[in-house]
Structure 1
């Protein structure tokens, strides 16, 4: 069992005497504070913070971080205040402990929401001081190691949360060892049967490998020595969850996973890495397409190494990783390597710390634009599972993006303003759509236009957190503008009935109605009306409660001019077009949905007129809308081609043609983009003139 003396011995290897004394003092303070408290396993509670501190000492955490690990449950569980900790151990330690304390024990409506909220809080705490998340990861790792004392349902919940949140964060911060331990323990707890079966299958396929591994190590070592190359060589087995995840994600059998066994070669210098690569490729046949140079182009979490997969002498694929000692430290401990180098007086890994800090800062930007924790987590998921692609700007600058990223992700990766105004792109000098998935090594140039703006369709193919948060933020602000504009017109129309308008309202009237609806500003009220949450004429009645209803005049129709934005939409059931008699149905949070007056779907609603608005088309409208025509025709050779060609010399576009009934007399549906009833009449007349056509009608409109 760990003791404070064993911790002090580890810490004294890299920290001066006075800082070791501070760590010991924090232990005794925590021991006294937790006196009498026990864990579910029956152990004294102090064993948990001590174990968390030992985990951090192994990756050379500084004195304040270790003190915070020892004290991380003191504020939450013992009633000792933040101020008391600051007085005893300084503001830095108190701030870290407070940050860790805020990450736990909140009640939410659902487990999913709780996880989302916890992750959001973690991101904010990380932005303040990245050591907060490192203490939290150490806390979680020890909890996973002692999970057996928990009841089954809690064990599964904690394991799932570890796989969903904590392990991906450790991975994103480059802390390989921490991530592997968390994933392995969580996999065994959440999928015990799958874990056992997969381990059995690996033992069967790669069994009796101890002697073979020793032989392989000796063989590589002797060949490197012959070329005067010194290196440490170790053969390892890919950890269980990683194999399971790859099999599941890529739908592969165990035999198809190429890197179950791997060789790690650690040398002294950069150039030695490339010389060793040459020796390995001379000894074993490399597998095509399986070489990656993460030294020249590091991963976004600072990871550097050469990766190649070769065919081993036993006919099984073998992944070889080649790196320097410094790269190995970063690969295993990620951002934690920053403190190891800081303690030894080196500054070689400042860039790795900066990368992690940059990522955390980007989380802050996403957080500011997210409207709730669930949206925040959905947005950053892509950043937490990054198999990177590396693409170049026209000036040769490298942009790192998650695998599956598109040109839109690249545009936002360069700059938010470029993302907001992009219209197309050139990939390796060839024009390509923004939805094109990018591959490593491509050069991407974004084409922008001042008048361009983000499109809601981009959310279906943008995957990076930065792109998705900016698109959503822009669309929501645009939707608010649109809602305020429509709300203004709807309320003005309702106030006309009371012989008034918005400009004539007194501050007292506005304040009274805002209090009634519990809103803060007139814009909030107008937005609410525009989104259908409140009805314009009911708000008007609230503004003029004593008005004589006999003196009211009938409100004018709401004119549709085609520029209202995203809160006016056209019903797909009846596809109204300019010139049709129309009615507007007000639907909460969707604004006004325009139906043809004869549409069957609106007849039942006409009994509740508060949800309906009389509408007319503006004379200036030039909006193009889709209308469906049903064509009944005699089925003869070339009939469909004749019908289609009858409208090819018009300005109207056929967006879809679908045969819905075959026989001697057949029927087809034509979807045509059109701008007026006059144009529609012209199209219908042209189709009717085709010799084989018997009847043309609009779909779903009553009385046609």
Structure 2
């Protein structure tokens, strides 16, 4: 796009645009990028021009177009923020600075940093959505030219696009950009699946091609005869949207409605409902497929009527009925809002709500609210991926208050949406006056009443009964509080045992000086740190009794997984407080193993690996089985004993070789016993302290490489 073409494109929709500012930005960006080249070999300046061109399609204001032209000059040239402010004004400088900061956030890095960067990313774009609009256009052009970068970088950028940028685009209603981003990322991440879907699409289009044209004409004719001016557009579904449906619903696609939808564009909102009535009189409606997003818009301001009918020739047809403005907003979201509000700075929320719409930034504002009031860390990654993609359902409290949830939301999502206290005390649910299981998915129009009890321990499996980030964050926070109490008890017991071995006790000295020395706020904080393995009990003991310094042996940095405090290491549905939990000696589970529990009377819950041979004894009794998972404490801060069963040569020095191999691989032999001895070989059981299942596998691989070891594997019962 040449300079005059860009100016003409902006002036076509905004005759009052500052032409001089646009020209100055164009020339300045071209000068600053100079001889820089892109991976494709093209001049670098071609990129900001294309980004600006993309944004003119959305009729954005002059400041945004100027920002698009300048969005990389601070990052990639000698230009500074002050230079931008002096030449183009503070508004543009703020926008360019915002885009520059986003460019420096690596969203697919190591997981903890990724979570923090995503948090910063969302908070940054919430301040001025134009920053996100420029960044989306920037990402779109980069995706269009992604074939020129190295494969590993291509995969990282595509995954980041699919997991962050496309969902953010949809969250503010810019479906046109989001859809293209999804398709481009899908092409790079799963080209085989995309080609297969495209071939199937072509076959279905050949089969239904004439029908599509005929359906469009017949719908228009029926509406025109009823006095409704309407335009019918056919809309082909994208390969990625079909792929997501196949993944989500595990179904095939073979009918017209699987690949094609029809948009009926009318002149006024009243015409939408009139057209709906005419269409339903002309063709049978498919039950439970009608949705009214005009009276109840989505939070990204999407408004439309949805229905499915059995149309001409018995074909199942999906339709969306909307006005032209609704159609533009459906495609362009926040960008359309800017165009219709004359490119004013900020958002005229009151005027928009008077038009029947909602704040187009509601999704972003909700994300920011969750970020600012939650726990942080990985919650933001999970929350963004869950909620930015999901469609919504609209349900009501018994008093008629509207609650919006992602599709698939359940009773606990509703409870926590009302108030955290309601969620924490929920014991049951009535849906439309009937008692229902807590895992019941809510439907549009449901009236939901939460049955509350006294505040009590929240079961860990409740997270599987939720889909919203808010509910999961609240449950996780509640569980962490309960886990803290357990760690405090464990830490106190550990310190008491350390002191007891030295002939001392906690009661002998005040802990206040100890807390001050280690900069710890409270005694419980200290015990919690000891219990989690973050603070050595020996250090505290030596601070309490300086004479003990050098006399105490430090315990292991990581907690040993065992039957004592077993509840710290496993979690799962139905774990009753107080039930005895122990680990099966038959298979010796370690973190990383898939595990299940067997609950037996007078014995408690025994934890087994999923492939333990002992489980065959309980195959016919489903009632004793419980799904279990390892806790983060087990996976991050603990060691466990894995039992290895080996057959080794009966020769001098072989056991020494085995011990050396295990030690060099970072294992620690806890016990060794002969199981069966022959003339040339003998069987041995070795209990080895390992970090997790992967560590055990590494040790096994090292042992198998030794010619004196005939066979070795984990004991499985």
Give the TM-score normalised by the residue count of structure 2: 0.72
User: 1:438: how far off?
Assistant: 1.7
| Cα shift readout 1:541-588 (whole Å, capped 9, x = no counterpart) | 2432325999x9xxxxxxxxxxxxxxx9997x6xxxxxxxxx779989
Q: Could you say which residue in structure 1 is the equivalent of 2:155?
A: 156
User: Is 1:349 aligned to residue 348 of structure 2?
Assistant: no
User: 1:145: how far off?
Assistant: 1.4
1:472 to 471, 476, 493: 476
Conservation of the 8 A alpha-carbon contact between 1:427 and 1:445:
yes
Q: Could you say which residue in structure 1 is the equivalent of 2:510?
A: 504
Q: Structure 2: how far apart are the matches of 1:205 and 1:597? A: 56
Q: Could you say which residue in structure 2 is the equivalent of 1:640?
A: none
User: 1:158: how far off?
Assistant: 2.2
Q: 1:15-164 alignment to 2 at 5 Å? A: 15=14, 17=16, 19-105=18-104, 116-164=115-163
Q: Structure 2: how far apart are the matches of 1:503 and 1:339? A: 68
Q: 1:678-693 alignment to 2 at 5 Å? A: none
**Could you say what secondary structure the match of 1:12 adopts?**
helix
**Could you say what secondary structure the match of 2:180 adopts?**
helix
User: 1:200: how far off?
Assistant: 2.1
Q: Could you say which residue in structure 1 is the equivalent of 2:444?
A: 440
User: 1:141: how far off?
Assistant: 0.7
1:401 to 399, 405, 421: 405
| Cα shift readout 1:154-173 (whole Å, capped 9, x = no counterpart) | 33332222222211221222
User: 1:198: how far off?
Assistant: 2.0
**Could you say what secondary structure the match of 2:390 adopts?**
coil
Q: 1:572-651 alignment to 2 at 5 Å? A: 627-628=602-603
Highest Rg: 1 or 2? 1
**Could you say what secondary structure the match of 1:298 adopts?**
coil
Conservation of the 8 A alpha-carbon contact between 1:406 and 1:437:
yes
When residues 125 and 353 of structure 1 are mapped into structure 2, their CA distance, relative to the original with a 3 A threshold, is farther
Q: Could you say which residue in structure 1 is the equivalent of 2:706?
A: none
Q: Greater shift after overlay, 278-287 or 44-53?
A: 278-287
Q: Structure 2: how far apart are the matches of 1:211 and 1:585? A: 66
Q: Structure 2: how far apart are the matches of 1:625 and 1:501? A: 41
Q: Structure 2: how far apart are the matches of 1:50 and 1:64? A: 15
When residues 279 and 82 of structure 1 are mapped into structure 2, their CA distance, relative to the original with a 3 A threshold, is same
Q: Could you say which residue in structure 2 is the equivalent of 1:681?
A: none
**Could you say what secondary structure the match of 2:141 adopts?**
helix
When residues 625 and 361 of structure 1 are mapped into structure 2, their CA distance, relative to the original with a 3 A threshold, is farther
Q: Could you say which residue in structure 1 is the equivalent of 2:281?
A: 282
Conservation of the 8 A alpha-carbon contact between 2:352 and 2:359:
no
Conservation of the 8 A alpha-carbon contact between 1:217 and 1:235:
yes
| Cα shift readout 1:161-189 (whole Å, capped 9, x = no counterpart) | 22222112212221111122112222223
Conservation of the 8 A alpha-carbon contact between 1:311 and 1:318:
yes
**Could you say what secondary structure the match of 2:223 adopts?**
helix
When residues 7 and 659 of structure 1 are mapped into structure 2, their CA distance, relative to the original with a 3 A threshold, is closer
Conservation of the 8 A alpha-carbon contact between 2:172 and 2:361:
no
Q: Structure 1: how far apart are the matches of 2:219 and 2:579? A: 76
Give the TM-score normalised by the residue count of structure 1: 0.73
Q: Structure 1: how far apart are the matches of 2:295 and 2:560? A: 51
User: 1:339: how far off?
Assistant: 0.6
User: 1:531: how far off?
Assistant: 2.5
Q: 1:655-670 alignment to 2 at 5 Å? A: 660=617
Q: Could you say which residue in structure 1 is the equivalent of 2:532?
A: 531
Q: Structure 1: how far apart are the matches of 2:309 and 2:324? A: 23
| Cα shift readout 1:383-419 (whole Å, capped 9, x = no counterpart) | 1221222211112222111122111100111223322
Conservation of the 8 A alpha-carbon contact between 2:266 and 2:323:
yes
Q: Could you say which residue in structure 1 is the equivalent of 2:541?
A: 540
**Could you say what secondary structure the match of 2:234 adopts?**
strand
User: Is 1:463 aligned to residue 438 of structure 2?
Assistant: no
Q: Structure 1: how far apart are the matches of 2:271 and 2:277? A: 10
User: 1:478: how far off?
Assistant: 4.3
User: 1:423: how far off?
Assistant: 3.0
Q: Could you say which residue in structure 2 is the equivalent of 1:332?
A: 331
User: 1:333: how far off?
Assistant: 0.8
When residues 599 and 87 of structure 1 are mapped into structure 2, their CA distance, relative to the original with a 3 A threshold, is closer
Q: 1:99-498 alignment to 2 at 5 Å? A: 99-105=98-104, 116-207=115-206, 212-255=211-254, 258-343=257-342, 348-349=351-352, 355-368=359-372, 373-449=377-453, 451-452=455-456, 454-480=458-484, 482-484=486-488, 487-488=491-492, 491=495, 497-498=503-504
When residues 627 and 376 of structure 1 are mapped into structure 2, their CA distance, relative to the original with a 3 A threshold, is farther
**Could you say what secondary structure the match of 2:143 adopts?**
helix
When residues 161 and 500 of structure 1 are mapped into structure 2, their CA distance, relative to the original with a 3 A threshold, is closer
Q: Greater shift after overlay, 335-344 or 532-541?
A: 532-541
**Could you say what secondary structure the match of 2:445 adopts?**
coil
| Cα shift readout 1:521-546 (whole Å, capped 9, x = no counterpart) | 76543321132443435521243232
User: 1:465: how far off?
Assistant: 0.8
User: 1:139: how far off?
Assistant: 0.6
When residues 548 and 179 of structure 1 are mapped into structure 2, their CA distance, relative to the original with a 3 A threshold, is closer
User: 1:272: how far off?
Assistant: 0.8
Conservation of the 8 A alpha-carbon contact between 1:380 and 1:464:
no
When residues 42 and 278 of structure 1 are mapped into structure 2, their CA distance, relative to the original with a 3 A threshold, is same
Q: Structure 2: how far apart are the matches of 1:419 and 1:134? A: 36
**Could you say what secondary structure the match of 2:403 adopts?**
strand
Conservation of the 8 A alpha-carbon contact between 2:580 and 2:603:
no
User: 1:486: how far off?
Assistant: 5.2
When residues 548 and 234 of structure 1 are mapped into structure 2, their CA distance, relative to the original with a 3 A threshold, is closer
Q: Could you say which residue in structure 2 is the equivalent of 1:646?
A: none
Q: Structure 2: how far apart are the matches of 1:598 and 1:248? A: 38
Conservation of the 8 A alpha-carbon contact between 2:394 and 2:402:
yes
Q: Any stretches of 5+ residues in structure 2 without a counterpart?
A: 553-558, 572-576, 589-598, 606-614, 626-717
**Could you say what secondary structure the match of 1:320 adopts?**
strand
| Cα shift readout 1:24-50 (whole Å, capped 9, x = no counterpart) | 332222222211111111222122112
Conservation of the 8 A alpha-carbon contact between 2:11 and 2:17:
no
**Could you say what secondary structure the match of 2:102 adopts?**
coil
Q: Structure 1: how far apart are the matches of 2:54 and 2:583? A: 68
When residues 317 and 123 of structure 1 are mapped into structure 2, their CA distance, relative to the original with a 3 A threshold, is same
**Could you say what secondary structure the match of 1:290 adopts?**
coil
RMSD: 4.1
**Could you say what secondary structure the match of 1:527 adopts?**
helix
When residues 436 and 570 of structure 1 are mapped into structure 2, their CA distance, relative to the original with a 3 A threshold, is farther
Equivalenced residues, count: 587
When residues 8 and 513 of structure 1 are mapped into structure 2, their CA distance, relative to the original with a 3 A threshold, is same
Q: Structure 1: how far apart are the matches of 2:604 and 2:454? A: 38
Q: Structure 1: how far apart are the matches of 2:65 and 2:190? A: 33
Q: 1:557-576 alignment to 2 at 5 Å? A: none
When residues 502 and 370 of structure 1 are mapped into structure 2, their CA distance, relative to the original with a 3 A threshold, is farther
User: 1:258: how far off?
Assistant: 2.5
